[in-house]
A and B are shown apart, each in its own frame.
Chain A
Amino acid sequence: MGETKKTPFYERHAAQNGKIVDYSGWLLPVQFPQGLVEEVHDTRKRATIFDVSHMGEVSVEGKDAEAYLQKILANDVSKLKDNAIIYSPVCYPDGGVVDDILIYRINSENFFLVVNAANTDKDYEWFQDNCSGDVRLQNLSAEYAQIALQGPNSKSILQELTDINLADMKFYRFQADVSVAGVNSIVSRTGYTGEDGFEVYCKNDGALTLWDAVWEAGQKKELRPAGLGARDVLRLEASLPLYGHELSKDLTPLQAGLNRFVALDKQDPFIGQEALQKQKQEGFNRKLFGLEMLERGVPREGYPVMAGKDEIGWISSGSYSPTLDKFIAMAFLDPEVAKQGEEVDVAIRKRTYRAKITKMPFYRRDK
């Protein structure tokens, strides 16, 4: 790992006594003094602000931008309208995953890609290596800061700072060139928590103005900070995959159950399409399932899952869920053996603990 980087909000986290850790080379708060459990409740019931400036941003411009994206994305961008966003895996030829990303369509010749922090450099290289035609790529990661404002109070907090009507913005829609507290921003109705919320991107020079304005506007609405720890638990409760856990170069999006984001019959072939079509036909020996512990025990990444004496898979993410007050996990299991509603055992240190295979997501907000 190279040198660690600070986001524009570092001093704000320090002032809030955030516990700072090195996450993919970025110094970010993992939790605040109120603790991860409170941060999860804060997000579900009120609103929290997250620094997600570590996320990477790549712009794709040019006449062939859409055709190029059709080639590198498993999802179909041809249906995407201006100001709309889709989620897509990016695959290797064998169907393994380079990264899972968001694609913002500004117009047919201008797209804004949001990629995972740990994958930014690798992705950018992959994008360049597979680039052809009239396509201009730019890695904007170092220039952009990003705030995630999540929770039911998010809309009313952000609305105080902008003239656009946020109520008109649907989930997975965005607007660019929006003034938020006077700072030129991209505002999208997106998030990684399973709650309503917004993500706001701006250039680094306006970032602190934006943060302080959101913080100030949030004080009347019980806005609190939240860290990476809460973010991870929130996304697990909402059963959202995390690269390196549910997706990797050795795990395909089909195994992770992301079928609706993989346009297997897309006319313009994408990298990995053939391999994934084949996998769909032939099946696979590990598929993602949800687990709920029946005995008290914390399922954690890497723990084996057993059916009797047979090891049938492993935990990819697991935690105590503050929202459900249960211990939950996502696990890659043998689909021949694992069936929803059935019981399995999770091996934790010296013994095994009973768990039930359940449907995902574990948590879904009331709409």
Chain B
Amino acid sequence: MKYNVIDGLKYTQQHEWARPEDGTAVVGLSDYAQDKLGEIVFVELPDVGAEVEAGKSAAVIESVKAVADLYAPVDGKVTEVNEALLDQPEVINQDPYGEGWVFKVEVKDESQLDKLMDKPAYEEFIIKEEEEE
């Protein structure tokens, strides 16, 4: 696999990842998604305290050529945002699963996380998407 997919994370079909952490989920963009987007030059973050909804746009990530929504993987209240990305959005390209995290959200319904893909399922999903391209 050309793209890095980390064990222990949950993945959405829109290529976000979520990492459960004490009742919240840390959310970011997968390595595959950052690679497809190309050089990221701008990030629009949600407000802390904002209610996000699973499958709805919660943040905007822009590369030189494209504007992409980052969809919330679960319903809940935003507890923290990665403000470092405002000045250094390219960190998402460099470290999508670490320093490139985008926001944290309070998880209301654990079952929403359970429905997301694990590493093997997401890898399979990427392979299919690549083939269709």
Mark A residues whose CB is within 8 Å of B.
30-31, 35-37, 229, 233, 296-298, 300, 319-320, 322, 327, 349
Contacts and interface: CB of A to CB of B under 8 A. Distances in A.
Given A296-B86, A300-B67, A349-B44, A35 B62 contact: no
Contacts, number: 32
Contacts of B87: 296
Contacts of A296: 42, 86-87
Interface residues of B, number: 12
A229 B64 contact: yes
Nearest to A228: B65
Among B42, B60, B67, chain A packs the most CB atoms within 10 A around the CB of: B42
B38 interface: yes
A143 B42 CA distance: 42
B42 A37 contact: no
A295 to B, nearest CB: 10
Among B39, B64, B87, chain A packs the most CB atoms within 10 A around the CB of: B64
Interface of B: 38-39, 41-42, 44, 60, 62, 64-65, 67, 86-87
B86 A298 contact: no
Contacts of A233: 64
Contact of A297 (B38, B39, B42): B42
Contacts of B39: 35-37, 320
A297 B64 CA distance: 11
A161 to B, nearest CB: 33
Contact of A36 (B42, B44, B62, B64): B64
By secondary structure, the A interface counts as mixed
Contacts of A319: 64
A37 B64 contact: yes
B92 to A, nearest CB: 14
A320 B44 contact: no
Among B60, B65, B86, chain A packs the most CB atoms within 10 A around the CB of: B65
Contacts of B64: 36-37, 229, 233, 319-320, 322
A35 B63 CA distance: 11
Contacts of A349: 44, 60
A298 B42 contact: yes
Contacts of B38: 31, 35-36
A320 B41 CA distance: 7
Nearest to A233: B64
A229 B86 contact: no
A298 B68 CA distance: 12
Given A296-B42, A298-B41, A229 B60 contact: no
The 5 closest A-B pairs by CB, nearest first: A320-B41, A37-B39, A298-B62, A298-B42, A320-B64
A148 to B, nearest CB: 20
A91 B110 CA distance: 63
Given A35-B39, A298-B62, A320-B64, 18 more contacts: A31-B38, A36-B38, A36-B39, A36-B65, A37-B39, A229-B64, A229-B65, A296-B86, A296-B87, A297-B42, A298-B41, A298-B42, A298-B67, A319-B64, A320-B42, A322-B64, A327-B41, A349-B60
Contacts of B67: 298, 300
